[in-house]
Chains A and B, each alone.
Chain A
Amino acid sequence: MSLDSDAVRRIAHLARLAVDDREAEGFASALSDIFEFVETLEGADIAGVEPMAHPLDAEQRLRPDAVTETDQRDRFQQSAPSAEGGLYLVPRVIE
């Protein structure tokens, strides 16, 4: 499998990354090399092997359902570019 520069531009857009046309060409070839590398793994016999979801062989710990956080809105909003009436403000987004 290989990626062309259109696919790279599309992925970059989905990830909100600025990639110009020249860079897109370069990434297309670099990413295609990675795919090629991964493809060699497809030759491995994986019959009976569970897909791995996490490198640690452990299970998720659960926490009790209790409120442990206190209100720190004012602190958090000091580092926001813009806030008003308790709301974080962003450029207008509307359907």
Chain B
Amino acid sequence: MEWETVIGLEVHAQLNTVSKIFSGAATAYGAEPNRQACAVDLGLPGVLPVLNGAVVAKAVMLGLAIDARIAPRSVFARKNYFYPDLPKGYQISQYELPIVAQGHLDIELEDGTRKRIGITRAHLEEDAGKSLHEGLGAMTGIDLNRAGTPLVEIVSEPDLRSAKEAVAYMKKLHALVRYLGVCDGNMQEGSFRCDANVSVRPVGQEAFGTRAEIKNLNSFRFVERAINFEVERQIDLLEAGGQVAQETRLYDPDRDETRSMRSKEEANDYRYFPDPDLLPVVIHPEFIERLRTELPELPDAKRARFIDAYGLSDYDAGMLTGSRELADFFEAVAAGCDAPKLAANWVMGEFSAALNRSEVELRDSPVSAADLAQLLCRIEDQTLSGKLAKDVFEAMWAGEGDADAVIAARGLKQITDTGAIDAIIDAVISANPAQVEQYRSGKDKVFGFFVGQVMKQTQGKANPAQVNERLRARLLGD
């Protein structure tokens, strides 16, 4: 039987505020345990939550960017369950009246076509603390620094049809929140993570199959692997005459499998009710319009502009606008060397390869946009050949200074002085009379030998086009 996969994603993005959603405690990552957990975060008696205005603004910006409806009135609700990292016994979330509803995001499929993915809602909530099980014997340690960190949970429609589409959607959303500057997108630190609702159904059937929810996927690779595993598992189960249980599953990256989290099952009755500690959040149209004017250029618009303004291909523009940092870097390089296509090739080629090879984030790059622009200027003004430029780039990456410093220190300046090149060519010609004879009697292949000899004599510093031109003239002319 042919099966169709149906996936919906619930993405949790931490909003990058300095203080928590309902308290004035800091949200900085990596503090000592519980140094950033105040009385409100601990749920001590008598405390009251007060909503952080920046959280509301960031959620509205996200809503505008996904073309969603911003609720004029939204309500916080209590989601009740017991777990040691949730001190109040409930999580403050939004249920019936979320702040953002009915948006969408367009993703690009492998064949280049675009697909619109519906976003059901995006609601605000507080994060829970962390449980630590290592090295504490029969006890579990609780760190509540993360408790109360603002999250926006972005819930997609079940519009995704493969693990690849799910990853494309998650990447697009990841780029978007970073463009908007509402979330740092750091997946290692858990700032951007997702749960995947996965089911399968026979092709042509309208009703959805029973879904399993895979929790806490914190990398694009894990999302893809976990969904692929889960789809296989469900198909095998159904083809063997079994049934898929509606349950929560956890992905184990070490074993590359999902397994049931039975303990979470009974907790699935959260008994939501409006939180009496918080009043309804009213958002006025003027507030929305002000934020609309503050929206940065978004990925799709930037991509179109790159094609238009820099003459880049759709593919290159798509690659460069994949993250705001990379797009900004490219624009700085292009502005510095006035050669946008060369800049695009270098940023996507040598530069990105060096980042990957060194496992360095763009913001920590040892070569700045201005440095790279200077290097490209030296290609443009013929100081460097493309090949020498790569050597100079390696040296710059290794910290040997900027392009001009490396060129001077290594004496790498390309020889464009025709007199100097002619002298070397003449020397090569007179040293190899036999090859000259062969060439003149019609063996064109020998030409490569001469080019090689000249480049060797100049240690690669001669301009190859110039060498070809003058060498041919001299071999034939004499």
Q: A-side interface residues toward B, CB under 8 Å?
A: 13-16, 51, 53-54, 56, 58-69, 71-73, 76-77, 82, 84-95
- Provide the main secondary structure of the chain A interface: loop
- The stretch from B4-12, B136-144, B315-323 touching chain A is B136-144
Identify B140's interface contact among A63, A67, A89, CB under 8 A. A89
Q: Is the CB of B25 within 8 A of A87?
A: no
B298 close to A (CB within 8 Å):
no
- The stretch from B45-53, B239-247, B345-353 touching chain A is B45-53
Q: Is the CB of B53 within 8 A of A73?
A: no
Interface Cβ pair total, 8 Å cutoff: 135
CB A29 to nearest CB in B, in angstroms, measures 21
What mask results when residues 370 to 398 of chain B are scored 1 for a CB within 8 Å of chain A, else 0?
00000000000000000000000000000
Identify B34's interface contact among A13, A63, A82, A86, CB under 8 A. A86
Q: Is the CB of B18 within 8 A of A87?
A: no
Q: List 29 A-B contacts (CB under 8 A).
A: A14-B80, A14-B269, A53-B274, A59-B279, A60-B278, A62-B56, A63-B52, A64-B52, A65-B17, A68-B19, A68-B24, A69-B26, A76-B34, A82-B139, A84-B139, A84-B141, A86-B32, A86-B33, A86-B34, A86-B143, A87-B34, A87-B141, A87-B142, A88-B144, A89-B136, A92-B139, A93-B83, A93-B140, A94-B133
CB B414 to nearest CB in A, in angstroms, measures 54
In the complex, chain B residues 104-142 whose Cβ is within 8 Å of any chain A Cβ: 131-133, 136, 138-142
CA distance A12 to B99 in the complex (A): 32
Interface residues on B, range: 35 or more
Chain A: which residue is nearest B281 at the CB level?
A60
Q: Is the CB of B280 within 8 A of A65?
A: no
Q: Is the CB of B138 within 8 A of A60?
A: no
CA distance A62 to B239 in the complex (A): 54
CA distance A94 to B55 in the complex (A): 32
CA distance A35 to B294 in the complex (A): 50
Q: Is the CB of B33 within 8 A of A87?
A: yes
CB B287 to nearest CB in A, in angstroms, measures 10
A87: chain B residues within 8 A (beta carbon):
33-34, 132, 136, 141-143
Chain A: which residue is nearest B36 at the CB level?
A71
Chain B: which residue is nearest A63 at the CB level?
B50
Q: Is the CB of A89 within 8 A of B141?
A: yes
Most buried by A among B24, B266, B269, B274: B24
Q: Is the CB of A53 within 8 A of B139?
A: no
B282: chain A residues within 8 A (beta carbon):
59-60
B436 close to A (CB within 8 Å):
no
Q: Is the CB of B35 within 8 A of A73?
A: yes
